[in-house]
Chains A and B, each alone.
Chain A
Amino acid sequence: MVMLPVQHYHFYSTNMKKLTIPGKVSIILVILFLTTLWVFPMWRIDLRAPQYPGGLSMKIWISDVKGDVDIINGLNHYIGMKTIHKKDFPEFIFLPAAIMIFMGLGIVVLILNRKVSYYIWTFVFAILGIFSFYDFYKWEYNYGHNLDPTAPIKVPGMSYQPPLLGYKKLLNFEVLSQPDIAGWFYIGAGVLLVAITIYEWKKSLAK
Chain B
Amino acid sequence: MNKFLLTLGSVALIASIQSCKMKTTDAVVAGDAAQKVYVAPGKYDEFYNFVSGGFSGQVSVYGLPSGRLLKVIPVFSVFPENGYGYSEETKAMLNTTNGLVPWDDQHHLELSQTNGNYDGRWLFANANNTPRVARIDLTTFKTVEILQIPNSAGNHSSPFITENSEYLVAGTRFSVPLGDADVPISSFKKNFKSTASFVSIDKNSGHMKIAFQIVLPGMNLDLSHAGKGPSHDWFFFSCYNTEQAYTLLEVNASQKDKDFIVAVNWEKAEEYAKAGKGHKVATAYAHNTYDESTQTATSTIEKEVLELDPKDCPDMVYMIPCPKSPHGTDVDPTGEYIVGSGKLAALIPVFSFSKIIKAIQDKQFEGAFYGIPVIKYEAALHGEVKKPGLGPLHTEFDGKGNAYTSMFLSSEIVKWRLSDLQVLDRKPTFYSTGHLMVPGGDTRNPYGKYLVAYNKITKDRYLPTGPELCQSAQLFDISGDKMQMLLDFPTIGEPHYGQAIPASMLKDKQVKFYDINKNHNEYVTMGEKKANVIRKGNRVDVYMTAIRSHLVPDNIEGVFVGDQVYFHVTNLEQDWDVPHGFAVKNSTSVDLLIMPGETLTMKFDANKQGIYPFYCTDFCSALHQEMSGYLRVSAKGSNVPLKFGTGVVAPETASK
Contact = CB atoms under 8 A, between A and B. Distances in A.
Interface of A: 70-71, 74, 78, 152-153
A74 B622 contact: no
B575 A78 contact: no
A127 to B, nearest CB: 40
Contacts of A78: 621-623
B548 A74 contact: yes
A153 B575 contact: no
Given A74-B548, A74-B573, 13 more contacts: A70-B574, A71-B574, A71-B575, A74-B547, A74-B575, A78-B621, A78-B622, A78-B623, A152-B549, A152-B622, A152-B623, A152-B626, A153-B622
Contacts of B548: 74
A62 to B, nearest CB: 25
Interface of B: 547-549, 573-575, 621-623, 626
Contacts of B547: 74
A202 to B, nearest CB: 55
A70 B573 CA distance: 9
A70 B578 CA distance: 14
Contacts of A71: 574-575
A70 B516 CA distance: 13
Contacts, number: 15
A152 B574 CA distance: 22
A105 to B, nearest CB: 43
A70 B549 CA distance: 15
Contacts of A152: 549, 622-623, 626
15 contacts: A70-B574, A71-B574, A71-B575, A74-B547, A74-B548, A74-B573, A74-B575, A78-B621, A78-B622, A78-B623, A152-B549, A152-B622, A152-B623, A152-B626, A153-B622
A71 B622 CA distance: 15
B616 to A, nearest CB: 15
Contacts of A153: 622
Contacts of B626: 152
* Residue from A70, A74, A78, A152 with most neighbouring chain B CB atoms (10 Å): A74
A132 B623 CA distance: 37
B554 to A, nearest CB: 15
A153 B623 CA distance: 9
A141 B55 CA distance: 61
Contacts of B549: 152
B76 to A, nearest CB: 35
A173 to B, nearest CB: 13
Contacts of B623: 78, 152
Contacts of B574: 70-71
A78 B626 CA distance: 12
A152 to B, nearest CB: 6
Contacts of A74: 547-548, 573, 575
A74 B572 CA distance: 11
Nearest to A54: B576
B290 to A, nearest CB: 28
A71 B548 CA distance: 11
A27 B622 CA distance: 53
A76 to B, nearest CB: 11
B530 to A, nearest CB: 18
A155 to B, nearest CB: 12
A148 to B, nearest CB: 13
A186 to B, nearest CB: 31
B7 to A, nearest CB: 68
A50 to B, nearest CB: 12
A153 B621 CA distance: 12
A51 B573 CA distance: 15
Nearest to A53: B42
Nearest to A68: B575
A74 to B, nearest CB: 6
A120 B179 CA distance: 94
A183 to B, nearest CB: 27
A71 B623 CA distance: 16
A70 B515 CA distance: 13
A78 B548 CA distance: 9
A71 B573 CA distance: 8
B618 to A, nearest CB: 14
A70 B513 CA distance: 14
B355 to A, nearest CB: 57
